[in-house]
């Protein structure tokens, strides 16, 4: 299924006047504060957030999975679904693939297919947390950190193969997330496991093409419940430093112990030049993989505040991998992804409208009250008309969720693919 430009414009037409009124109001309010609205709109138009190939179907939980119907059955259909999102929101012009869930049968054909929908290939993800049916050795006791060099070699070779696949598609980064760890005290020698992981990663690093990066993702627990080898940003940062200039830390918002100050982690990684990218999601308890901004929108905004703050001090190009890593159990996956993208862009714009000069002054003079007033004023500004304007200017929908429902996209997908289609991945 593809959405034509004309169809989206027909849906926009009745809402254009109302939108223009709200947009004019916020533009004049912001211009009184010296904020350049056209510049924000341009930044929004350029901002693209990659959709993970594994989030287009129902993820479910380990207790069960409820069907949505019309789930994409093949890589083409996954990319087609991202094309629907991109047509509606103008900001989902990239896909992050998970290998071997998404091995393309015909690389050239899939590239043409994606290009046709204006979709690029973002970071590719390796998978050494599951055994595949044709796999020789098991990852039950780890992969890159395994005690057996043959298992480590198999996991290294897999990562190198993922780089090869990604390179053919035009990706420029490999994301490595390891489930390696232990479930019981005494089971694993922490030091040896970390050293082996480093040595394995170094072999993968050596196989990176010159213009590639490796993003090292950390996570405190699950599926390892006592210890995880790359458990926090310190472990990942350490590895990234040891590996070299092409290695960075990837922050998945769900991969922290409760109450961690993620915005501070982001600020420090950015300052050290080692922030590689994000997996956006939200959580109440652990790695809940909920819609970005659904539980802690203020935290999401504070993270973007640090990113924008960091950009002011960086001479290098601001080149991070922005990706969603969510899983859906109740909502239509496509609607959920539209909501996540919207929340991420909202946090971005709210942090762009912070009066940063005034904030710095307050910070330097220890004016605690005014510093808080400044950032909360930005957070409490309804920036949705700016997002809608950026969409309108790129021929996307003023209101993506409402357009999705008016077109009844899910019904068409069910008609095309059936009620019981199941997408590959988690
Ligand atoms: C692990 O929980 C993780 O966040 C990693 O990014 C994986 O690649 C992804 O989830 C798989 O769903
Ligand atoms: Mn992740």
Residue in 250, 226, 114 with CA at minimum distance from that of residue 173: 250
Q: Is residue 16 part of a domain?
A: yes
- 425 lies in some domain: no
**Which phi and psi (to 5°) does residue 166 adopt?**
-65, -40
The encoded tokens of residue 231 equal 């458990």
Assigned domain for 426 exists: no
The mean pLDDT value of the chain amounts to 96
Specify the residue with its C-alpha closest to ligand 1, atom 7.
177
Domain containing residue 139: 5-417
Ligand 1, atom 9: closest residue by C-alpha: 325
For the record, the structure tokens of 318 come out as 């601001």
Q: What is the 3-state secondary structure (H, E, C) of 346-375?
A: HHHHHHHCCCHHHHHHHHHCCCHHHHHHHH
Q: What percent of the chain is predicted at pLDDT more than 70?
A: 98
Asked if 85 contacts 92 with a C-beta cutoff of 8 angstroms, the reply is yes
Confidence of residue 318 (pLDDT cuts 50, 70, 90): low
Section 309-314 average pLDDT: 76
- When divided into structural domains, the chain yields a total of 1
d(CA 190, CA 230): 10
pTM of the model: 0.97
Residue 281 pLDDT > 90, yes or no? yes
Phi-psi region of 2 (alpha: psi -120 to 50; beta: other; left: phi over 0): beta
Q: Which residue has a Cα nearest atom 6 of ligand 1?
A: 177
**Which residues, chain by chain, have CB under 5 Å from ion ligand 2?**
252, 279, 325
Maximum Cα interatomic distance, the chain, rounded to a whole number of Å: 66
- Is the residue at 318 inside a domain? yes
Is the pLDDT assigned to residue 426 strictly greater than 90?
no
Mean pLDDT of 19-35: 97
Residue with tokens 């899983």: 327
Residue position matching structure tokens 């991945």:
425
Query: Nearest residue CA, atom 1 of ligand 1?
Result: 177
CA dist 397 and 402 (Å) reads: 9
Q: Distance between CA atoms of 300 and 283, rounded to whole angstroms?
A: 11
Strand-pair category, 247-252 with 321-324: unpaired
| 166 in a structural domain | yes
- Rounded CA-CA distance 346/353 in Å is 11
User: What CATH number is attached to the domain comprising 295?
Assistant: 3.20.20.150
Answer yes or no: is 204 within a domain. yes
Alpha-carbon distances of 212 from 43, 197, 206, rounded to whole Å = 25, 20, 11
The reply to whether 18 falls in a domain is yes
Q: How far is the C-alpha of 251 from the C-alpha of 274, rounded, in Å?
A: 11
Do 213 and 175 form a contact (C-beta atoms < 8 A)?
no
The ligand whose atoms approach the alpha carbon of 223 most closely is 1
Domain presence at residue 233: yes
pLDDT over 90 (residue 313): no
Ligand 1 pocket, CB under 6 A: 54, 125, 177, 217, 219, 252, 279, 287, 325, 426
Q: pLDDT, tens digit, for every residue of 345-377?
A: 999 999 999 999 999 999 999 999 999 999 999
């Amino acid at each position: 299924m593809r959405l034509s430009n004309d169809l989206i414009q027909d849906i926009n037409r009745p809402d254009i006047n109302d939108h223009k009124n709200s947009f004019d109001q916020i533009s004049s309010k912001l211009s009184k504060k010296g904020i350049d609205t056209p510049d924000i709109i341009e930044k929004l138009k350029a901002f693209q957030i990659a959709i993970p190939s594994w989030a287009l179907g129902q993820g479910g939980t380990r207790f069960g999975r409820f069907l949505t119907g019309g789930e994409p059955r093949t890589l083409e259909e996954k990319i087609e679904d991202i094309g629907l999102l991109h047509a509606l929101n103008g900001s989902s012009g990239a896909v992050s693939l998970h290998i071997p869930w998404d091995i393309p049968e015909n690389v050239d054909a899939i590239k043409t297919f994606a290009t046709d929908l204006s979709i690029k290939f973002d970071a590719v993800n390796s998978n050494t947390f599951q055994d595949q049916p044709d796999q020789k050795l098991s990852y039950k006791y780890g992969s890159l950190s395994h005690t057996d060099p043959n298992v480590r070699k198999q996991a290294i070779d897999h990562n190198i193969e993922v780089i090869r696949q990604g390179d053919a598609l035009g990706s420029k980064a490999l994301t490595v997330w390891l489930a390696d760890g232990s479930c019981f005290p005494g089971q694993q020698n922490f030091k040896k496991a970390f050293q082996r992981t480093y040595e394995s990663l170094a072999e993968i690093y050596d196989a990176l093409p010159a213009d590639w990066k490796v993003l090292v993702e950390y996570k405190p627990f699950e599926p390892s419940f006592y210890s995880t080898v790359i458990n926090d940003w310190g472990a990942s940062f350490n590895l990234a430093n040891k590996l070299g200039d092409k290695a960075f830390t990837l922050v998945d918002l769900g991969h922290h112990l409760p109450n961690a100050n993620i915005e501070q982690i982001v600020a420090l990684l950015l300052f050290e030049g080692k922030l590689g990218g994000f997996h956006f999601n939200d959580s109440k308890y652990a790695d809940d993989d909920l819609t970005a901004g659904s539980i802690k929108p203020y935290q999401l905004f504070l993270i973007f505040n640090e990113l924008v703050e960091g950009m002011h001090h960086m001479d290098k190009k601001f080149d991070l991998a922005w990706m969603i890593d969510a899983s859906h159990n109740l909502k239509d996956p496509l609607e959920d992804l539209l909501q996540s993208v919207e929340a991420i862009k909202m946090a971005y714009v709210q942090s762009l409208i912070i009066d940063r000069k005034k904030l710095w002054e307050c910070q330097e003079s220890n004016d605690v009250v005014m510093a808080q007033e400044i950032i909360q004023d930005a957070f409490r500004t309804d920036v949705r008309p700016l997002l809608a304007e950026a969409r309108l200017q790129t021929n996307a929908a003023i209101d993506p969720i409402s357009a999705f429902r008016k077109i009844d996209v899910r019904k068409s997908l069910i008609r095309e693919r059936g009620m019981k289609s199941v997408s590959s991945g988690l």
